[in-house]
Amino acid sequence: MKKLSLTFAIIFAMMGIVRADEGMWLPMFVERLNYVDMQKMGLQLTPEELYSINNSSLKDAIVGLSNGSKPRGFFCTGEIVSDNSLLFTNHHCGYSSIAALSTVEHDYLNEGFAARSFSEELPAEGVSASFLVRMEDVTAEIFSVIEPDMDYMARQKAISAKIKELEEAASEDGKLNPVIKGFFEGNEYYMFVYKTYTDVRLVFTAAQSIGKFGGDTDNWMWPRHTGDFSVFRVYADENGEPAEFSENNKPLTPKHHLPVSLDGVQPDDFTMIWGFPGSTERYMSSYGINYNVDVFYPIVYEVFKAETDVMDEYMKVDKAVNIAYADNKAGLANTWKNFEGQITMLRKNKVAERKVELEKQFSEWVNASEGRQDEYGELLSTLESSFAAQAEAAPTLFYPNFTAQLNPMAMASEFSAYYEVMNDKEATKEDKQVITESLKEINVDAMFSNLDARVEKGMLIEVMKIYGSKFETEALPEALQKMIKKYKGDWAALASDLFDKSMFSNAETMKAFIEKPNAKKLAKDPAFVVYNALVEQLYSVAPVYRMATIAISEADHEFVKGLREFYAETQPEKVLYPDANSTLRMSYGSVKDYSPADAITYDYVCTANGILEKYIPGDFEFDAPQRLLDLIEARDFGQYADENGELITCFLSTNDITGGNSGSPIMNGKGELIGLAFDGNWEAMSGDVNFEPKLQRTINVDIRYVLFVIDKVYGATNLIDELEIHKAMPEPIRVEEE
């Protein structure tokens, strides 16, 4: 273990008592901050077995999943479970790859897929798997470039340059991927050095009627019966080094893999989760919460919900559309339901009110010292006015922005540069030739390959109806005023005609324009006209919104700095830990039920019986494969049944997680895999802003259900044979002799 920096040593002294369930902890500090507490709760591993940079440790089995070879963040987590780098993650984490590999003839989304040998495994193009090599505190190096008289933008520029310098120095000529992130709103900086593998292959997926059982209806809900898992494998070259996909690559031999336990869980069992949580905002002010709840989240919810409703209409009846839009719809639906939950629970759990009380205490502490008044006295008023400025600008920024992203406006936007050059009086003939030739580089077929005209037109109509309801006609850009007056205020009719008449609504007319481009014709295209009007509208408030964002960032930096001093002086026992930022974290807790409301208590596990209870034949969300139903009816669970003969599908724990933790391993005190984290619960949707110890639970798919599906439903015993499976022997029955 490296010696703690002075900065963190001071913070450690400030932290006092550590709570068991709340917190997403940096692994390099586990021995100093968490180990004794974890031992008392049931951890049986040593600190060196958890995190080591010199020897194999648990951290070496945790994988960050991202898109591209230079990860700056991770969309999900995975874990290595065999000596051949078999990787478990959530079904929804693999969903994009599964959809991309699916066709009407090979519909892996709806039928599932199981490779029986290495040669049958399918490349998951664009997905990379990153292993943490080490992390280190670089706060002192970063702060060395900051001068006292620098303003915010100058500081950020200097910090960015220093980060780039340090990352390049640690990359070992591109062999490693160092990433430096700010913590506590830029009051500390740490470098995470990764080795990234880009040859990742799909090995197994259940049908989405298992992997997404319950669909959007059950999302964030308990009880849960979703088999949210998929299986991949990491490949390397003959030397075990990262390499692009090649038939000659071999499965990577990992430094560590997780054994699997079939012992199941009991109430109060110790649990720990390792993974890459994406983002929390536990230090957000009341002003930020109110802005999100009252302004930003409702805008996103309204637009995204409208889009997914249209997608659903056609996905339910057309197999090809279902495959084409599956990934896009899943992302949008996940976002709008998340925001719906946050709006509801931030209000219900009175999070803003609790923040107001904290801000009052902070203000009293600030006002008790002239020096603190000089440093922190204006922070809260700055946050209040800046969020107010954002709130005023947000509708004029976001409604046009979301509308402009729809087709055919999105397609028309590809020709903006061409139009500008062709109408630039100072542009030379050569300039115009170059920009005209560049149009031929647009891959029209690729842009339209997964689009359905019915879906695109339907989304355009619904979103333009929303857009039109938000603004008085006189407040619109002149071009839009003329268009909507022509249609007598009927935004649906305008959108329908726009789609039908624009040359950017289908591939053939767009190709024809590229063959014979004409700036005057482009200027008259209705989609191009609307796109430019929308951009004009959002640009009218973009500078104000941007300046408010900068002011908020600067104030947040100082506010968190002040809060840490405030807690150190007034509440030294208060737990302080950095917000999630897509870096490796550990959380620990226990298996536990919860009571969301009066006279209601939810059990800590649910069983496969619930699948039969929820099953609706042919339903988009609650259908299930006949093989699964037959096995449940026959109670043919094999070695995966619990001591009562039941098949546990999911269980609850008190671990602190957020988005990005999806696919994370949940382990027992021995470091054995007992399940995969995949969701939080509805009643604690405010948890990213304020941890709710009585309500907040992690929903985990039980590893026994995972193996049951692989083994009994799909017969992929080759994968079961790869695993290191542990199961405690029952205690012998002893009869004392008389």
Q: Which pLDDT tens digit goes with each residue over 521-572?
A: 999 999 999 999 999 999 999 999 999 999 999 999 999 999 999 999 998 8
Element (H, E) at 204: strand 199-205
Q: Which pLDDT tens digit goes with each residue over 230-242?
A: 999 999 999 999 9
Residues 146 and 267 in one domain: yes
| Contact indicator for 30, 50 with CB cutoff of 8 Å | yes
Share of the chain above pLDDT 70, in %: 96
Give the per-residue pLDDT at 424: 94
Which residue in the list 57, 91, 92, 679 is annotated as catalytic?
92
| Contact indicator for 555, 386 with CB cutoff of 8 Å | yes
What average pLDDT score do residues 188-201 get?
97
3-state SS, residue 701: strand
Residue at 406 is within a domain: yes
| Contact indicator for 681, 665 with CB cutoff of 8 Å | no
Residues 85 and 144 in one domain: yes
- Residues 269 and 604: their CA atoms lie apart, in Å, by 11
Residues 276 and 298 in one domain: no
Residues 227 and 274 in one domain: yes
CATH of the domain at 185: 2.40.10.120
Mean pLDDT across the chain, nearest whole number?
A: 94
| Contact indicator for 566, 363 with CB cutoff of 8 Å | no
Centre a 10 Å sphere on the Cβ of residue 31 and count the other Cβ atoms it contains.
15
Q: Which pLDDT tens digit goes with each residue over 280-313?
A: 999 999 999 999 999 999 999 999 999 999 999 9
**Full domain range(s) for residue 322:** 286-543
Give the per-residue pLDDT at 272: 97
| Contact indicator for 197, 577 with CB cutoff of 8 Å | no
> Going by DSSP bridges, is the β-strand pair 600-602/605-607 parallel, antiparallel, or unpaired?
unpaired
Residue at 140 is within a domain: yes
Phi/psi of residue 434, nearest 5 degrees: -65, -45
Q: Which pLDDT tens digit goes with each residue over 650-687?
A: 999 999 999 999 999 999 999 999 999 999 999 999 99
- DSSP H helices in 106-190: 108-111, 139-143, 152-170
Beta bridge partners of 131: 63, 195
Centre a 10 Å sphere on the Cβ of residue 683 and count the other Cβ atoms it contains.
25
Give the per-residue pLDDT at 282: 96
- Residues 533 and 489: their CA atoms lie apart, in Å, by 17
Residues 584 and 481 in one domain: no
Domain boundary among 519, 543, 567: 543
Give the per-residue pLDDT at 72: 85
Give the per-residue pLDDT at 728: 82
Residues 249 and 343 in one domain: no
Domain boundary among 543, 566, 590: 543
End-to-end CA, the chain = 57
| Contact indicator for 625, 209 with CB cutoff of 8 Å | yes
Residues 453 and 380 in one domain: yes
R_g of the chain computed on alpha carbons: 27
Beta bridge partners of 25: 586
Position 8 confidence tier, pLDDT thresholds 50, 70, 90: very low
| Contact indicator for 697, 589 with CB cutoff of 8 Å | no
Q: Which pLDDT tens digit goes with each residue over 52-110?
A: 999 999 999 999 999 988 888 999 999 999 999 999 999 999 999 999 999 999 999 99
Residues 274 and 139 in one domain: yes
- Residues 189 and 168: their CA atoms lie apart, in Å, by 16
Share of the chain above pLDDT 90, in %: 93
Q: Which pLDDT tens digit goes with each residue over 706-719?
A: 999 999 999 999 99
**Longest CA–CA separation in the chain, Å:** 110
Q: Which pLDDT tens digit goes with each residue over 578-614?
A: 999 999 999 999 999 999 999 999 999 999 999 999 9
Domain boundary among 525, 543, 561: 543
| Contact indicator for 483, 506 with CB cutoff of 8 Å | no
Give the per-residue pLDDT at 735: 57
Residue at 185 is within a domain: yes
Centre a 10 Å sphere on the Cβ of residue 320 and count the other Cβ atoms it contains.
14
3-state SS, residue 106: coil
Residue 574 has pLDDT above 90, yes or no: no
Residue at 554 is within a domain: no
Q: Which pLDDT tens digit goes with each residue over 407-461?
A: 999 999 999 999 999 999 999 999 999 999 999 999 999 999 999 999 999 999 9
Q: How many structural domains comprise the chain? A: 2
Is 228 catalytic? The answer is yes
Position 573 confidence tier, pLDDT thresholds 50, 70, 90: confident
- Residues 522 and 519: their CA atoms lie apart, in Å, by 5
What average pLDDT score do residues 133-156 get?
95
Taking phi over 0 as left and psi of -120 to 50 as alpha, with beta for the rest, 645 belongs to: left
Beta bridge partners of 80: 87
Residues 618 and 523 in one domain: no
> Which token pair is 265?
């869980």
> Which token pair is 576?
């302080």
Residue at 562 is within a domain: no
Q: Which pLDDT tens digit goes with each residue over 160-191?
A: 999 999 999 999 999 999 999 999 999 999 99
Residue 193 has pLDDT above 50, yes or no: yes
Residues 402 and 456 in one domain: yes
- Residues 608 and 620: their CA atoms lie apart, in Å, by 19
Give the per-residue pLDDT at 5: 39
Residue at 610 is within a domain: yes
Is 662 catalytic? The answer is yes
- Residues 275 and 657: their CA atoms lie apart, in Å, by 9
Residue at 674 is within a domain: yes
Which residue in the list 21, 199, 228, 702 is annotated as catalytic?
228
Residues 341 and 463 in one domain: yes
Position 733 confidence tier, pLDDT thresholds 50, 70, 90: low
| Contact indicator for 582, 277 with CB cutoff of 8 Å | yes
- Residues 34 and 655: their CA atoms lie apart, in Å, by 14
- Residue 487: exposure state from Cβ atoms within 10 A (0-12, 13-18, ≥19): middle
Give the per-residue pLDDT at 563: 97
Residue 517 has pLDDT above 60, yes or no: yes
Give the per-residue pLDDT at 13: 35
Give the per-residue pLDDT at 31: 86
C-alpha dist (Å) from residue 27 to 74, 126, 136, 140, 669: 17, 28, 11, 20, 16
Position 576 confidence tier, pLDDT thresholds 50, 70, 90: confident
Residue at 552 is within a domain: no
- pTM (two decimals): 0.92
Residues 589 and 470 in one domain: no
- Residues 378 and 645: their CA atoms lie apart, in Å, by 63
Looking at residue 108, its amino acid is Y
